[in-house]
Amino acid sequence: MATASSVSSPSMERIMSLPHSSMSLRHSNLPSLLHPWSFSSSFRPPSGFRRHIDSKRFPIFKIRASEEEEEEKNSESFTRIRKVFSSVKDKWDGLEKKPTIFLYGGSAILGLWLSSIVIDALDSIPLLPKFLELVGLGYFGWFVYTYLLFKSGRDELGSDFQTLKKKITGEE
């Protein structure tokens, strides 16, 4: 570590002779050329950044503790979680063909894994991803023109959606 006697430049002698209490960034006697943010012209910290760095506490974070509110929030969230778990448990207990559920779930995971492999292989072929992107943009344009641009198309899309919803829920 260099001492004040071995320093050759006058500005460095001035810095080394300063007491440690005056070396903080807030109340510094350093020349403006030696300020930490004067070295880079491309990086400027936000206006409030220096204030938060200089302060010992962060005034942005205000902590307010209320035991009653916390207990009330926790009890509400715990009751919701209990209701969800109890409904899932009741549904699981009501199922008769549990191995079939595991088979379907495993098949779905396997299908997702295989499809990701196929998509990665297709993505590595040159120009194919750009072509598929053009196909997708063309389909999007056709969909907007057919179903969203005119009122008759929007009405048709709404009725198709309602029919599909009825088929899924079993009302039809």
From residue 2, alpha-carbon distances to 29, 61, 90, 102 in Å are 20, 40, 75, 71
Give the pair of three-digit tokens for residue 74.
């926790």
Q: How many CA atoms lie within 13 A of 26 on its CB side?
A: 8
Q: How many CB atoms lie within 10 A of CB 126?
A: 6
DSSP structure class, residue 64: -
pTM above 0.75, yes or no: no
Kindly report, residue by residue over 65-122, the tens digit of the pLDDT.
Answer: 566 666 666 778 888 899 999 998 888 888 888 888 899 999 999 999 999 999 899 8
Do 122 and 131 form a contact (C-beta atoms < 8 A)? no
Is the predicted pLDDT of residue 169 greater than 90, yes or no? no
**Distance from C-alpha of 61 to C-alpha of 81, rounded to nearest angstrom:** 29
Kindly report, residue by residue over 28-47, the tens digit of the pLDDT.
Answer: 444 555 555 544 455 555 55
Kindly report, residue by residue over 119-155, the tens digit of the pLDDT.
Answer: 899 889 889 889 999 999 999 999 999 999 999 999 9
